[in-house]
């Protein structure tokens, strides 16, 4: 079983190799990067920095509500290191690393854990909501590839959303724990909603900038559908940072808009690997400089 779990992480990289061998023309792929519009790439990078600032703001706000004091630049250092680890493994690793690093000898370990679980729940629910909206906006396009009607599609989305919520609350032994998690953030619900909204405004603008940088002619709704699916896949522990599995989803969805495989994979790499890594490295450099003063 242990060997099976370890081998599962290589599914993505193997898929990536297959995609390059079967669907990608290397000349066209390299030309995609050669013709990239740097100004939109920089804009996308800056909005990713703002996205991280919003996430840091949200976590520190929740920590403060739980009377847990953390130096801003110390937390920025922890956050950037943890997110770097998440980028090269799985995003859930960053939550664990953040929580463990902050716990130390703190007597409020349960509250610290609760803060990070609550923040991740807010992200998952936001991505799910954005996915549902963009899916319904593109239902007519997608329905030609699947044999279901509108009512069935809505039902499937409702069931998926319900399953997501029930996954957190259905087991009796976790109910009391998650009640504490919810209690830790219920007094901050308006602030959580506002900051999370700003986070996904930055997420959406960054995605739009990626498409302009690569000169991809695509509607915003299909673009965001692609990015939300990519974010969901990245959460799954079946590949290293979602590599390969996310690219398959990108090729399918963007193929509906007649976007080439070369531009599709380039966008996946820029939006989910290259710029996110650069953004967390930048945050870490800022933290080291400010902590060194």
Is the separation of the CB atoms in 241 and 272 below 8 Å? Answer: yes
Reported as a pLDDT band with limits 50, 70 and 90, residue 170 is: very low
Dist CA 46 CA 36 (whole Å): 17
Look at residue 224 in the predicted model and tell me its pLDDT: 95
Average pLDDT over residues 244-252: 86
Q: Is residue 55 part of a domain?
A: yes
Least confident of 58-67, 81-90, 98-107, 160-169: 160-169
Residues spanned by the domain of 96: 37-213+276-291
CB 48, CB 202: distance < 8 Å = yes
Q: Which of 54-63, 147-156, 270-279 has the lowest mean pLDDT?
A: 147-156
Indicate the DSSP class of residue 211: H
Distances (CA, A) of 23 to 5, 86, 245, 248, 251: 28, 28, 15, 11, 9
In a domain, 187, yes or no: yes
* pTM for the model: 0.84
- Give residue 172's pLDDT band: very low, low, confident or very high (50, 70, 90): very low
197 within some domain: yes
Overall average pLDDT of the 107-136 stretch: 82
When the pLDDT of each residue in the chain is averaged and rounded to a whole number, the result is: 80
| CA dist., res. 182 & res. 79, Å (int) | 22
Asked if 192 and 58 count as a contact pair (C-beta separation under 8 A), the reply is: yes
Measured distance CA(130)–CA(127) in Å, rounded: 5
**Longest CA span, the chain:** 62
pLDDT single digits (tens) 24-54: 889 999 999 999 999 999 999 999 999 999 9
User: Considering the domain boundaries, does residue 180 fall inside one?
Assistant: yes
Counting the structural domains of the chain, the total is: 1
The answer to whether residue 137 is domain-embedded is yes
Contact 203, 49 (CB under 8 A): no
Contacts of 154 (CB under 8 A, 6+ apart): 136
The whole-number pLDDT of residue 68 equals 77
Q: What is the pLDDT of residue 4?
A: 47
For residues 45 and 218, is the Cβ–Cβ distance under 8 A?
A: no
pLDDT tier at 130, thresholds 50, 70, 90: very high
Percent of the chain having pLDDT more than 70? 72
- Both tokens of 137, joined, read 């906006």
User: Residue 20 is encoded by which pair of tokens?
Assistant: 């390059």
Buried b (16+ CB within 10 A) or exposed e, 11-25: ebeebbeebbeebbe
Q: Are 267 and 210 in contact (CB under 8 A)?
A: yes
Lowest mean pLDDT among 89-103, 127-141, 214-228, 272-286: 89-103
Please give the Cα distance from 77 to 39 (Å, whole number). 28
Extract the tokens encoding 123: 């992200």
82 part of a folded domain: yes
Q: 220, 221, 217: which is closest to 208 by C-alpha?
A: 220
Tell me what pLDDT residue 1 has.
46
Whether 119 maps to a domain, the answer reads yes
174 or 45: which leads in pLDDT: 45
- For 184, residues 6+ apart whose C-beta sits below 8 A from its C-beta are 62, 65, 66, 111, 114, 115, 118
DSSP class of residue 239 equals: S
Closest to 105 measured CA to CA, from 74, 154, 68: 68
Average of pLDDT values for 142-159?
63
Residue 75 belongs to some domain of the structure: yes
Task: Give the dihedral of Cα atoms 129, 134, 135, 137; nearest 10 deg.
Answer: 130
The CA distance from 185 to 87, in Å, is 27
Higher-confidence residue of 235 and 32: namely 32
- Is the model more confident about 144 or about 1? 144
């Amino acid at each position: 079983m242990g060997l099976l779990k370890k081998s599962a992480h290589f599914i993505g990289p193997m898929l990536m190799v297959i995609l390059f061998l079967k669907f990608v023309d290397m000349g066209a792929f390299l030309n995609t990067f050669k013709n990239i519009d740097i100004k939109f790439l920089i804009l996308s990078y800056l909005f990713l920095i703002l996205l991280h600032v919003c996430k840091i703001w949200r976590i520190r706000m929740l920590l403060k509500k739980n009377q847990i004091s953390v130096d801003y630049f110390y937390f920025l250092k922890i956050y950037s290191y943890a997110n770097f680890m998440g980028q090269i493994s799985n995003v859930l690793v960053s939550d664990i690393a953040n929580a463990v690093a902050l716990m130390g000898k703190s007597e409020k370990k349960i509250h610290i854990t609760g803060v990070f679980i609550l923040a991740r729940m807010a992200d998952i629910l936001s991505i799910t909501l954005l996915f549902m909206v963009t899916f319904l906006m593109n239902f007519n396009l997608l329905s030609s590839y699947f044999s279901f009607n509108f009512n069935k599609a809505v039902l499937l989305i409702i069931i998926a959303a319900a399953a997501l919520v029930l996954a957190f609350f259905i087991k009796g032994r976790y109910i009391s724990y998650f009640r504490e998690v919810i209690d830790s953030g219920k007094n901050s619900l308006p602030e959580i909603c506002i900051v999370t909204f700003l986070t996904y405004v930055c997420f959406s603008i960054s995605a739009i900038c990626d498409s302009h940088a690569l000169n991809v002619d695509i509607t915003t709704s299909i673009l965001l559908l692609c990015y939300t699916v990519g974010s969901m896949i990245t959460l799954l522990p079946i590949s290293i940072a979602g590599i390969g599995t996310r690219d398959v989803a990108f090729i399918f969805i963007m193929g509906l808009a007649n976007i080439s495989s070369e531009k599709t994979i380039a966008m996946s790499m820029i939006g989910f690997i290259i710029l996110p890594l650069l953004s967390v490295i930048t945050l870490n450099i800022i933290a080291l400089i400010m902590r060194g003063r």
